[in-house]
Amino acid sequence: MVASSKGGAGKTTLCMVIASEMSRQGIELTIIDADPNQHFADWGRDAGFKNVISSSQNNIITDIKEAQTKTAFVIVDLEGTANVTMGYAINLSDFVVIPCQTSDLDGKEAVKVINFIREQDEFKASATKFAILRTKTSALRPTNIEKALIDDFKSIGCKVLKNRLLELVAYRTIISNRCMLHDLKTTTKKQEEAKQNAIEIAHDITLEIVEMAVEEVKVKNVKELQDA
């Protein structure tokens, strides 16, 4: 799942990018949108995804559990606030991605989500795995503020994904065109190169997240066997 305590962090765009890349690779997944705005769900239906669920606090638990029995991967987009719905979703998630723009204020908001996750762990047998993904960054080298944020996150035991979600026109275009990245129409060589660059970045981000999520499932399964 993708969680943020504020709007504008890039969580819905990240959900779309991951879903798009998984579809490009032929991976079956379920989209669950518990954000009242329903941008992820609306985009998913228009883009051609088969498994799209519009959820809410009242049915988020049932929706996630049912989706987990039908597809190997479930992507959950939540409202940009730490609330009961987020708590329910965290407790059912194998891995949580926290999108964060590289500023001091956004870093503080990300820490709120980290603390919220750790509070939820008080009611679970095992801790929820999570990591920070830097969003809306430029292709330039990390700034001093970004480097300081990474150090701050690591100092509190939070992993930071090596890949970043860059601020690219292609990612904004899939929202307005309501399509997946690989379905974007291009008319010039420059546009096609930009599209392929966006797909490559999406691939690297998705691969890193999936590898961490799958590893968490393996660890969880081993622990269950040990406790049996």
| Three-state secondary structure of 137-148 | ECCCCCCHHHHH
Distance, in Å, from the CA atom of 160 to the CA atom of 27, rounded to the nearest integer, reads 25
What angle is formed at CA 26 by the lines to CA 23 and CA 31, rounded to 5 degrees? Answer: 40
Domains, the chain: 11-227 (3.40.50.300)
What are 73's strand-pairing partners? 29
Distance, in Å, from the CA atom of 42 to the CA atom of 67, rounded to the nearest integer, reads 18
Where does 92-188 have alpha helices with state H? 104-120, 144-155, 169-177
The predicted structure's pLDDT at residue 216? 58
How far is residue 213 from each of residues 95, 131, 177, 202, 206, measured CA to CA in Å? 5, 10, 30, 16, 10
Lowest-confidence region among 29-38, 93-102, 138-147, 175-184: 138-147
* Cα radius of gyration rounded to whole Å, the chain: 17
Phi, psi of 75 (to 5 degrees): -105, 120
Answer whether 29's CB lies under 8 Å from 74's CB. Answer: yes
Condensed to tens digits (0 to 9), the pLDDT of residues 36-84 reads: 999 999 999 999 999 999 999 999 999 999 999 999 899 999 988 878 8
Distance, in Å, from the CA atom of 188 to the CA atom of 173, rounded to the nearest integer, reads 15
Percent of all residues in the chain with a pLDDT value above 70, rounded to a whole number: 94
* 225 pLDDT above the threshold of 80: no
Condensed to tens digits (0 to 9), the pLDDT of residues 123-133 reads: 777 888 999 99
Quickly state the pLDDT bin for 217 (edges 50, 70, 90): low
What angle is formed at CA 96 by the lines to CA 6 and CA 118, rounded to 5 degrees? Answer: 80
